[in-house]
Structure 1
């Protein structure tokens, strides 16, 4: 299924990067301030402190960035528990994670697909690009989440675009290492499921979290009921407007030649939970900004990866913020099945 939206032409590559979320802002009032920064990879492992707290290992593999206090059981203010972060803003000890991606070869074996640094995120050790955006209307009050806040977006069991809880995912197929094609906003070649063609320059995927909160519940039993997506303001049940958080990741799919693709014509990439369609992409967020740093950034309508009064660090420093794996899966080897025994499904 292709995404049919406005396509901009004539923009420079740098402009394209800076405005990548313009067409995806979930607000009909227009696009305003946008923070965009990198968070390097600090672990890839089977842990999920929201959906499966305390379970080691969790059901499937995740790619995790942010503060180094990430573990199987996370409660309270994680911003006070981490000693370092992989993010450019060194006061952001939040954790952001989503499933790992695997390649399934024609002989049925699997291998983990590495993540590469996104365009404009120089020197990062893979990881996730994080966006915090605000609407154009400066009269709209944007409130940063409080300590202890967390949420999930997407349904890992979704196998169709209209499945219950399916997130608004956008995939882009790059033809080369220069991030081409890369039109501004959402291109008419973008898809909501895995691209069918070979993508030698990688596959980029992004996902938006809900931007309206009930104002009182830090987390709900299903990790979603306390938040909603507001497309023209927030509903009365969830009146607090949050900054729009989007995650964007580029996977190095070009390292897997087409000679290894399945012979039946199906595309070979699957999410770690066994999703062969791409509709089951999902992501988790645990707030961990220090003090009022995110609120100050939102109030200033900060842009990109610089903000007056907020501390930043070189990406090389973030790259050194790692944590030992609690669950060790061989990410370099070909394996006969997905970690956790997850079975690939398409329906």
Structure 2
């Protein structure tokens, strides 16, 4: 679907206090099953936006490596250990959704605030206002709803959760196309890895054969073009703002902190194959890598594991635009 150009925002557009908002389920077009016991995923949306949030909940907690790139990162927390990750639309205002997840987890712990009872939540946001004319954004109530909807072993995909208003190929807003969130799960012996991503990039989505699958659609030509062609034509044009790809990787592999951080960077870097360009000055790309520390790598070095996880990440990107 090709979007109409958005050149400016009028004043007085409706926001959350102006509407009787009620969190709604956000199932998408289906889900990707995964086998990582103790990992739960939930989504919720405000159809009035549309905008939404996606929560990955690990009640036992998980060591975390964070790789944030680009010139427009919107993130809260960024802890090296987390009980939940919250992705949301609404740009900086959507960071309130992560606060709602934190509040819900506090309530579930009976409001216990001893040091060892604290629940850590990190969040990141996409700018999804470019395709709509309102200021509705995920808030604490929507974050709570997404956590309450979390289920084990299923990751919703398509236009749902944080990806309901995501778009790609925004060399010009009029040539952008809707994307969503995608997920893929890989099993390599005892090693398991889940990668899910919300694609809201300035770049286009590229298939394994080099075909441009989503974004930068030229209606006059009836075709999608690689952004490099348009950059050559628009060298003096202002940059289009509001782009971000958010990714979460969950594995059962136990690695040292140093090796785990390097694998996170490796996987995040690999995603440039499926999104071109990636990590631009107007992108706020963030990858959270979580591990449940259940198995050791045997016969496989961390770089090899990173290579396998990178292929799963590309599958997740493609899943988001099916």
**Which category of TM-score, normalised to the shorter sequence, fits these structures?**
under 0.3
Output the TM-score relative to the length of structure 1.
0.26
Q: Which has the higher helix share?
A: 2
Output the TM-score relative to the length of structure 2.
0.28
Q: Which has the higher strand share?
A: 2
Higher RCO (C-alpha under 8 Å, 6+ residues apart): 1
